[in-house]
Amino acid sequence: MKNIRNFIKKCTHPFLKSGLKLYYSKPRKYCYESVCVQVHPDVFPPHLTFSTKILLDFIKDLELNNKTFLELGCGSGIISLLASQKGAIVTASDVNKIALNYLEESAIRNNLKVRTVYSDLFDEIDKTKFDFIIVNPPYYPKKAKNVKEKAWFCGEHFEYFEKLFSQLTEIEFDNFYMILSQDCEIEKIVSIAQKNNLKTQEASKIKNSFENNFIYKITKMN
């Protein structure tokens, strides 16, 4: 099954790549229920990927009223805006300034409140405890050539996860959720978490015809 999937991916990849390039050559609107954002071409595209929609469906069912909520690496910010619509007090961070600027405009258009922070992981984020932290990380092991590529690549040696999990040891949190796909090196990522005394538990598994996605709850080991 995996071989067939890889074969289909290989054959369609060049067409998909040029099709996507054309599709994303200008800002595109993306909506989830009544919340809409404009997505700049240099920002992670939620339209044709599965992870953002899966997280939107996931947080839709959470009780978020008056809860503090951090979306680490917010991209278009649609998840942050949905959380805000559900009554959460939201902080959205990213290393992509265009993403943050677009999110600020989207927040105004949706009449929702989100605090944006330009931050490399937790570097510039207050060390207060968030009730919820949600992450859709970049997970392909390659060095990002520019900020746009940071949406996909976590560094040749998984530097993104090394830094994130080491920072988590210094931070208090209750509900930390991260989505990963079967396409990524889950075992390697879990091993970096374990090295930092963090436990990864599967909270949800979402299957579709193309891939399986997993939402992990990350907690500190006792």
Binding site for ligand SAM (CB under 6 A): 44, 46, 51-52, 55, 71, 73-76, 79, 93-96, 99, 120-121, 136, 138, 150-151, 160
The CA R_g of the chain, rounded to the nearest whole Å, is: 17
User: Considering Cα of 185, then 57, then 127, then 109, what sign does the dihedral take?
Assistant: positive
Write down the least CB distance from residue 4 to ligand SAM, Å.
26
User: Considering Cα of 180, then 182, then 184, then 188, what sign does the dihedral take?
Assistant: positive
The residue (of 55 and 89) whose beta carbon lies closer to ligand SAM is: 55
3-state helix, strand, coil in the chain (%, to 5): 35, 25, 35
CA atoms of 142 and 178, how far apart (whole Å): 20
Write down the least CB distance from residue 3 to ligand SAM, Å.
26
Write down the least CB distance from residue 83 to ligand SAM, Å.
11
The residue (of 28 and 150) whose beta carbon lies closer to ligand SAM is: 150
For residue 182, what are its two tokens? Answer: 């079967």
CA atoms of 174 and 110, how far apart (whole Å): 29
The residue (of 4 and 184) whose beta carbon lies closer to ligand SAM is: 184
For residue 27, what are its two tokens? Answer: 């800002």
Residue showing the smallest CB distance to ligand SAM in the complex: 73
Write down the least CB distance from residue 135 to ligand SAM, Å.
7
The residue (of 11 and 20) whose beta carbon lies closer to ligand SAM is: 20
User: How many other CB atoms sit within 10 Å of the CB of residue 67?
Assistant: 18
Write down the least CB distance from residue 55 to ligand SAM, Å.
6
The residue (of 200 and 213) whose beta carbon lies closer to ligand SAM is: 213
CA atoms of 93 and 167, how far apart (whole Å): 15
